[in-house]
Structure 1
Amino acid sequence: MSTDYQQARAALGVRLRELRESCPGSRLTGTALAARLGWTQSKVSKLETGRQTATADDLRAWAAGVEQPESAAELLSRLGGLESRIRSWRRQLAAGLRPVQDVHNEAQAGATVLRAWESSWVVGVLQTPDYARAILGSFAELHQTPRDVEEAVRARMKRQEGLYDPGRHYQILMWEAVLHTRICPPLVLVAQLDRLQGVIGLDTVELGFVPLEAALKIPPGLGFWIYDDRQVVVETWHAELWLDDADSVATHLRVWEALRASAVFGADAQRLIGRARRAIDA
């Protein structure tokens, strides 16, 4: 969770406390508000101290509970600002996997230069349908989301249309470990490796791999996308971070450049894919 996000959540908590303490008629205690709302007192405390992120329903209830319903719009606007930076999987996946894919399709369609680093799996824009099905299915199980896997796979495949757009350029880096990760059946991984070999010839894609034995300037860390040097999307286990402040973008660009310095491309990248292919057959 970013420091900026923590500060914004704490600021929201301060505003919630101000509204409680300015309740018309008399100062309302946290215990009294909790009783009004049917909450525990600890929930009120966590929201006011920025240790818990409020939901939209929480904020509407708070505004009503402190007898200032007109403040709901302001509180929801503050929450929107938080969620423009961190988007929890619990909330995003409430309607299934497909809507999340649509959001990423739109984000990538609006970018011209797309840089990526991935250390855990093949990036979505280069996945085969079967590989995508395995990845998305595992996340549906992890987050216990509605299982609209097939719709999500179709949406992810649509994203690949951008690979053939001459006005778009993809600069994708992955750790060699991605080529060996058995997140799917062996035959599915074989087809995925074949797909990557074919991508290397596209003039819109610069595909590189950081070998396992390469000297690294920085640890592999989490995967991320950078869109037109203006926005970064980082995926964690509990949420996605959507960052557009200059410092965050600059930091991720430096990370990407440091990893690129250890990467191989072209024929050398093909050799790494071939090594992974042979390991499956062994």
Structure 2
Amino acid sequence: MTGADEALARDALRCGELTILGRIRSASNTTFLCEAAWSDRIVHCVYKPVAGEQPLWDFPDGTLAGREVGSYLVSAALGWNIVPHTIIREGPAGPGMLQLWVDQPGDTDDTEPDGPDLVDICPPGSVPPGYLSVLRAYDYAGNDVTLVHADDPRLRRMAVFDVIVNNADRKGGHILAGVDGRVYGVDHGVSLHVQDKLRTVLWGWAGKPIDDETLESIADLGEQLAGPLAEQLREHITPAEVAALRRRVRTLLAEPVMPGPDRHRPIPWPAF
């Protein structure tokens, strides 16, 4: 998508007439696939009405939609464009989160990607070249398997992003390879908490140093958090959660090493 196309898609998301095409049944909260029509432009998007959110005892403040928008704002401030363009606006079922749909290979045809997915499982001892092993586990049939993910710089940056936003639910199914060659992360409704809640399938770089280019982006984010970005985030999350976000940024800059899974439940379940 060119810059002009992206701008038109964002205008359609913000101002277009929304039509629900169907419900996404695999989602844990009410989630719809919609189209937004604006001028002669139609774009597909995901719509999660606030009214359809299931209350979570450990995320009592604000809305999941607000956390999704907060994560998008952090992604945009970093310049990494991990999270598709996301807003909150009125929809057919009331106010909710709208996010641009990510077109993936196979969405419009039966094309199957070559090789393993970015996050996949394989038999023990058969980790594909260019992949990192995360853990050994058992599948639903009781077979011994290994959870792996690609040693891909786009995923590595996403792993850093998840540390910053304290993502509690980075499943393999929340990582989307777009037809545009980008890798996107979606479903950030349980992020940006004050307490450490990082749960992710992207542990392959645990203990590895963070590169200088990534650290420059993190330092720039820290500067933005001292200005208007903090005010934008306070519209969606609590002041304490904004302060915790700043602490995580400072910690990464002071100790530029990827954390390791040192808690009782480091991986969301199911992992996909």
Report the TM-score when normalising by structure 1.
Answer: 0.24
Higher strand share: 2
- Bigger Rg, which one: 1
Report the TM-score when normalising by structure 2.
Answer: 0.24
